[in-house]
Amino acid sequence: MAGLFAYVGCYTTAERDGRGKGINVYRVNRRTGDFRHVQLVGGLENPSFLALSRDGRFLYSVHGDRSEANAFAVDRRSGKLRHINHRPTGGYNPVHLALDASGKFLAVANYGSDSLAALPVNADGSLGACSTLTTVTGTLGPHRVQQRGMYPHDIPLDPTGRFFYVPCKGSDVVIAYSLDRKRGVLKEASRVTARPSAGPRHIAFHPSKALAWVVNELNSTITTYRLDRKTGALKPLQVIPSCPESFTGYSTGAEIAVERGGRFVYVSNRGHDSIGVFAVDAAKGTLSPRQWVPSGGTVPRFFAFDPAERFLYCANQGGHSIVVYRRGRDGLLTPAGVRIRVPSPACIVFRE
């Protein structure tokens, strides 16, 4: 059976209460879900989000509270990383990145300076210089602390490969962008407004239907959208809490993902410290809650499925651990009895 590797980015700086040392590489036990450490790529500050090229030959990182992206070559057999080069992202605090459909551009969201960059990707996997930034503009939301800028927080490519979607936490909007490959610049295609102080954070897409779901950080809700694949426009269909209605404490939404069958949506809640499981109505696309499981640690900033979607891996940034759950055919989660000690984990990607 082919090897399966996991790459975990961590927070490293005191400003983030980071205890990590860089990017950790692990070999994954497909049967138990456990990790075995292979490599630490040190000397990196806050490699907080990672992305793999489609063929798995290259890995890219952006660095929280910094201004750069790094490129790495991936050894096919060992899974180990070799640094290729780094480039400025043209802005401050890049928080998310994604490759375009051709694999020739790396799109980056600069949270701290309200801009988007499209860095050219060369044939050897190295990054070229960004020539033109896209400034993200709009009316700021009413929250006096958390909405002082536009704060673009996510920039994934939709399943058709036509649009990058950027939830803007500070402006309560989600903006779709198309990529002008000749100029290497992102152009706005459409935008939709969320509730005031919702704080849209991350977006996930149905694998085949024209549906998308956004986890809203500040009011801990999930919005269901109908997606126009020609224009990129989003039409809201539903808003529901991401935490149980009985929960009265403070919590913020963090990560959202859709399993490949499109039947269930998963979210993480920081404060409630849980993973929520929601069933998708096959006809309407709307959600209904099915389950909340404890995240097994504090601040579940991120989670991811292994490629077979047998396991869900929850990265507890504050709990300095990755906790593993088995995913049943009914979409529900049960503890796998595996806890991996990782200081300040922020992101996990898998490569077969």
Sequence ranges of the domains in the chain: 1-38+313-352, 39-312
CA dihedral sign of residues 32, 29, 255, 204: negative
Binned at pLDDT 50, 70 and 90, residue 131 comes out as confident
pLDDT the model gives residue 320: 98
Buried (b) or exposed (e) across 32-63, using 16+ Cβ within 10 A? ebbbeebbebeebbbbbbbbbbeeebbbbbbb
Beta bridge partners of 80: none
The candidate with the shortest Cα–Cα distance to 277, out of 348, 333, 211, is 333
If phi > 0 it is left, if psi is from -120 to 50 it is alpha, else beta; for residue 320 that is left
Calculate the alpha carbon distances from 330 to 274, 291, 333 in Å.
19, 11, 9
pLDDT of residue 250: 97
Q: Is the pLDDT of residue 100 over 70?
A: yes
User: What CATH code would you report for 39-312?
Assistant: 2.130.10.10
Q: Give the percent of the chain with pLDDT over 70.
A: 99
Q: Which H or E element spans position 59?
A: strand 58-63
Q: pLDDT band at residue 23, thresholds of 50, 70 and 90? A: very high
What is the pLDDT averaged over residues 60-71?
98
Q: What is the mean pLDDT of the chain?
A: 97
pLDDT of residue 85: 98
CA dist., res. 156 & res. 255, Å (int): 13
pLDDT at 306: 98
β-bridge partners, 10: 345
Residue 351 pLDDT: 98
Q: What band does 2 get if pLDDT is binned at 50, 70 and 90?
A: low
Does the pLDDT at position 209 exceed 90? yes
For the residues 307-326, what does the mean pLDDT come to?
98
For position 39, what pLDDT does the model report? 98
User: Is residue 93 within 8 Å of residue 64, measured between CB atoms?
Assistant: yes
Give residue 274's region: left, alpha or beta (phi > 0; psi -120 to 50): beta
Residue-wise pLDDT tens digits, 147-179: 999 999 999 999 999 999 999 999 999 999 999
Distance CA 93, CA 82 (A): 24
CA distance 37 to 320: 15
Q: What is the pTM of this model?
A: 0.98
The Cα–Cα gap between 280 and 224 comes to 10
pLDDT average, residue stretch 14-28 = 97
Q: Decide if 61 contacts 347 (C-beta within 8 A).
A: no
Q: What percent of the chain has pLDDT over 90?
A: 99
Buried b / exposed e along 243-260 (16+ C-beta atoms within 10 A): beeebeeebbbbbbbbbe
**pLDDT computed for residue 12 by the predictor:** 98
